[in-house]
Chains A and B, each alone.
Chain A
Amino acid sequence: MSDEQSWRAAQPQWSWPRIFLRFILDSAGVVSRGNGPYYAWIVFLLLVIGSGVSAYANQVSHGLITTHMRDQVSWGFYIGNFAFLVGVAAAAVVLVIPAYIYNWGPIRDVVLLAEILSVAAIVMCILFVTVDVGRPHVVWHMMPGLGTPNFPHSMLMWDVLVLSSYFLINYFIVTYLLYMGYTGQKYNANFIMPIIFLSIPMAVGIHSVTAMLFMGLKARAFWHTAILAPRFLSSAFCSGPALLVLIFLVLRKIGRLPVSEHTLFKVGELLAYAMAVNLFFLGVEVFTEFYGETAHSIHAHLQWFGTHERKDIAIYSWTALACNFTAFIGFMVPVLRRKLTVLVGACILAIGGVFVEKGLGLLLPGMTPDVLGETYTYNPSLNEVAVAAGVWAIGALLFTAMVKVALSVTAGTMRFRARSVV
């Protein structure tokens, strides 16, 4: 009899709902305890959330006029963040594929962290759409049973459907794996692996559907192109894994996450391929717009060259391109990516590049000039940025809490002990 088995045999038989309740209470306990830097981080996040909530209250009482969106540019920073975060949610899980191909590390930890990042990213996605809506108190109008969802016509309904399914699947996987670890049971691979594998096509699905939300709009020539979905995916495969590399490094430093440098360098190599494809897709789009120029190329013109009065979109675009290209060099050259500092720098550049490219770099050229040819200069308002920062902080808080539980479970410090219950 192994130690594990004898330990388990010593536990009294509890029904699983009771153990699960204990799991939740213990999780809360783990989250509430920590060292000084941990508390400082939490307090920082709570402050950002507080400022976001007050900015949102301001938005609710005055209307979306507190943003700099107007009829000419009717979607802005919120929807840009949404598009970026759907990519993060999707790409984090796609890292599961190379995890299997390369067969590295304790697979469960990698899957777990990726899934946790997905969950936090989707929560942020939902929040970003919610803060963008003019009348959030009636969003139930799109829910089946309560409202009249325009399904299957509206791509927004498809997006709600895939995002919520994806959220449920990932949330279930995370909870299942952690709960099994907590109770000292080995997870049932035959049960959970098919679900994990299901999350992979679902990840592609959420980002494709989000791209289609834009692609389906024939009024917006800049988005009405088949390359948009592939570009969404390729850019997400850069930003998602890059974010995970940074998170792995932080957790390796402060936590007990066993991630070898070899593993990180492998992810760096994958990022080189992803960024190569991403840049290629961009090149294809630019070629089509400029070699076979039509009236619709005006958006691409604005994107890369701006107009006399306005250069901001062009600055965004070139910045994103410079970030992405530099990151690509860092990922591609083996001697470079095997230096941790270079890898970290390249990851930060890739995340920044994609954030601009998929955020305002996607939204603004799509909506400028507007459908009647007017050029309106949009930059997010301070209130808008504060709300967005609040949403990011909520996501970070959720991620921190879930990772803390996950690390405690995998390190064995958070274990089910029946006798600890009075």
Chain B
Amino acid sequence: MTKPSEKSEGPVRGASRREFLRTGAVAVGALAGAPGAAQALEFDLESFFQKNFRELSDEEIDDVVKRLSRRYSKQYGAEVSVHATGPMDGVLYGYGLDISRCIGCRRCVYACVDENNQSRDPQIHWIRVLEFEREAIVRGFDLEDGNPYYDHEQVPAADKIYLPVACQHCEESPCTNVCPTGATWREPDGIVVIDYDWCIGCRYCMASCPYGARHFNWTEPSIPAEEINPNMHLLGNRPRTAGVVEKCSFCIQRVRDGRYPACLEACPVGARKFGNLLDSDSEIRTLMRTKRTFVLKAELKTQPKFFYFYG
């Protein structure tokens, strides 16, 4: 992996529209005689008037990041730092998964939940592991035969194979195409991200995704304060609200700092690989050359950046 290039931290701006809004909000709250309400209103107003992430200047992003760090630190009683680290030049992320190694233990699923601050109640899982009869590998995967709710004493169960599925980070991503507000898009390093403040929750992206990768917050998500991961990315694992869509971001808060995704580190059998597709010597490229490789639903021409190996 190449070295991370941190987005330079710009100077903190003085009084701005946001400051004005904050003052105004506090005034409204004071009138209502409810300091707590004023606090809530302050945040809501600032998020409410925030522009689409892609229209924010570096200074504005800096403001948002600082405001959210303050908010989450207070909310979860932890030293939360939200980042908006940008993409590195010359990097296109690719994920590899060796299904002949995968044992279906779902450690990746729960490592992902912990890392990415997914709701514990109701549970949201960005990774879904499907269990198939071993012969599926010969016939080709018929997804209707997959079972995501397998519950064995021990895995791998006899004559079963496992197919973990999460966001495939498609080059021709149907989800970003259909989004009416441009709240989701593909970054230059290939990561498909969501601006949670800009999403209106119409779920058109979910209808368009061929991989079931997108999940909706049907109600306010809940994460115990002691389980919060304080290392957050604005477009990744920061806490979401009710009514927005979320999904795997390749652990944007880790990989843009040169680390591996959490699911990869959690995998006990080394089935998961990650790297730079533009580097022909990278592990992922080497595996793509030497292993039998396929992508899910290739006929849809979505050009996933998530590759499955076998044999």
Query: Which residues of A, 158-180, contact B by the 8 Å Cβ criterion?
Result: 160
* Assembly CA distance A130 to B220 (angstroms): 19
Question: In the complex the two chains form, is B216's CB within 8 Å of A71's CB?
Answer: yes
Residue of A74, A129, A136 with most chain B CB atoms under a 10 A cut-off? A74
* Assembly CA distance A155 to B177 (angstroms): 9
Tell me whether A384 is interfacial, beta carbon within 8 Å: no
Question: In the complex the two chains form, is B122's CB within 8 Å of A65's CB?
Answer: yes
Interface of B is mostly: loop
Question: In the complex the two chains form, is B178's CB within 8 Å of A63's CB?
Answer: no
Tell me whether B225 is interfacial, beta carbon within 8 Å: no
Tell me whether A135 is interfacial, beta carbon within 8 Å: yes
Which residues of chain A have C-beta atoms less than 8 A from B183's C-beta?
A: 141
Instruction: Select from chain B the residue with minimum beta-carbon distance to A158.
Output: B180
Question: In the complex the two chains form, is A373's CB within 8 Å of B202's CB?
Answer: no
Question: In the complex the two chains form, is A218's CB within 8 Å of B174's CB?
Answer: yes
Question: In the complex the two chains form, is B200's CB within 8 Å of A218's CB?
Answer: no
* Assembly CA distance A135 to B181 (angstroms): 13
Question: In the complex the two chains form, is B208's CB within 8 Å of A373's CB?
Answer: no
Question: In the complex the two chains form, is B207's CB within 8 Å of A367's CB?
Answer: yes
Residue of A369, A372, A373 with most chain B CB atoms under a 10 A cut-off? A372
Question: In the complex the two chains form, is B181's CB within 8 Å of A217's CB?
Answer: no
Question: In the complex the two chains form, is B178's CB within 8 Å of A155's CB?
Answer: yes
Instruction: Select from chain B the residue with minimum beta-carbon distance to A141.
Output: B181
Tell me whether A133 is interfacial, beta carbon within 8 Å: yes
Instruction: Select from chain B the residue with minimum beta-carbon distance to A64.
Output: B218
Say which residue of A63, A74, A213, A219 sits within 8 Å of B220 (CB atoms). Answer: A63
* Assembly CA distance A136 to B177 (angstroms): 21
**Distance between B235 CB and nearest chain A CB, rounded to angstroms:** 16
Question: In the complex the two chains form, is B218's CB within 8 Å of A63's CB?
Answer: yes
Q: A64-B216, A149-B181, A217-B207 are in contact. Are A156 and B243 (CB under 8 A)?
A: no
Question: In the complex the two chains form, is A148's CB within 8 Å of B207's CB?
Answer: no
- Stretch of B34-42, B57-65, B138-146 at the chain-chain interface: B138-146
Tell me whether B212 is interfacial, beta carbon within 8 Å: yes
Tell me whether A98 is interfacial, beta carbon within 8 Å: no
Question: In the complex the two chains form, is B219's CB within 8 Å of A63's CB?
Answer: yes
Which residues of chain B have C-beta atoms less than 8 A from A71's C-beta?
A: 206, 212, 214-216
Q: How large is the interface on B (under 10, 10 to 19, 20 to 34, 35 or more residues)?
A: 35 or more
Tell me whether B55 is interfacial, beta carbon within 8 Å: yes
Query: Which residues of A, 122-170, contact B by the 8 Å Cβ criterion?
Result: 129, 132-139, 141-142, 147-150, 153-157, 160
Question: In the complex the two chains form, is B148's CB within 8 Å of A154's CB?
Answer: no
Say which residue of B48, B178, B210, B218 sits within 8 Å of A371 (CB atoms). Answer: B210
Question: In the complex the two chains form, is B178's CB within 8 Å of A154's CB?
Answer: yes
Q: A65-B219, A372-B146 are in contact. Are A139 and B300 (CB under 8 A)?
A: no
Question: In the complex the two chains form, is A372's CB within 8 Å of B55's CB?
Answer: no
* Assembly CA distance A150 to B182 (angstroms): 5
Instruction: Select from chain A the residue with minimum beta-carbon distance to B210.
Output: A219
Chain B 162-179, CB-CB to A under 8 Å as 1, else 0, gives 000100000000100111
Question: In the complex the two chains form, is B300's CB within 8 Å of A218's CB?
Answer: yes
Question: In the complex the two chains form, is A219's CB within 8 Å of B215's CB?
Answer: no
Chain B 193-217, CB-CB to A under 8 Å as 1, else 0, gives 0000011111110111111101111
Interface size on A, residues (CB 8 A): 46
Say which residue of B130, B179, B212, B219 sits within 8 Å of A154 (CB atoms). Answer: B179
Say which residue of B122, B180, B201 sits within 8 Å of A135 (CB atoms). Answer: B201
Tell me whether B242 is interfacial, beta carbon within 8 Å: yes
Query: Which residues of B, 57-79, contact A by the 8 Å Cβ criterion?
Result: none
Which residues of chain B have C-beta atoms less than 8 A from A149's C-beta?
A: 180-182
**Distance between A319 CB and nearest chain B CB, rounded to angstroms:** 25
Question: In the complex the two chains form, is B177's CB within 8 Å of A371's CB?
Answer: no
Tell me whether B248 is interfacial, beta carbon within 8 Å: no
**Distance between B29 CB and nearest chain A CB, rounded to angstroms:** 18
* Assembly CA distance A74 to B178 (angstroms): 15
Question: In the complex the two chains form, is A371's CB within 8 Å of B212's CB?
Answer: yes
Question: In the complex the two chains form, is B202's CB within 8 Å of A372's CB?
Answer: no
Tell me whether B293 is interfacial, beta carbon within 8 Å: no
* Assembly CA distance A220 to B203 (angstroms): 14
Question: In the complex the two chains form, is B182's CB within 8 Å of A219's CB?
Answer: no
Tell me whether A370 is interfacial, beta carbon within 8 Å: yes
* Assembly CA distance A217 to B175 (angstroms): 10
**Distance between A8 CB and nearest chain B CB, rounded to angstroms:** 49
30 A–B contact pairs at CB < 8 A? A64-B216, A69-B218, A71-B206, A74-B203, A74-B207, A74-B216, A132-B203, A134-B199, A134-B201, A134-B242, A135-B201, A137-B48, A138-B200, A141-B52, A141-B198, A141-B200, A148-B54, A150-B178, A150-B179, A153-B177, A154-B178, A156-B202, A217-B174, A217-B208, A219-B208, A219-B209, A220-B207, A371-B143, A372-B148, A372-B211
Binding site for B on A (CB under 8 A): 62-65, 69-72, 74-75, 129, 132-139, 141-142, 147-150, 153-157, 160, 213, 216-220, 295, 298, 367, 369-374
Which 9 A-B residue pairings sit nearest by Cβ, starting from the closest? A134-B201, A134-B243, A373-B143, A63-B219, A219-B210, A373-B144, A65-B219, A65-B218, A63-B242
Beyond A75-B207, A133-B202, A134-B200, 15 extra complex contacts between A and B, CB < 8 Å: A63-B220, A63-B243, A64-B201, A64-B218, A71-B215, A75-B203, A133-B243, A135-B199, A142-B200, A156-B202, A157-B180, A219-B210, A298-B144, A371-B211, A372-B211
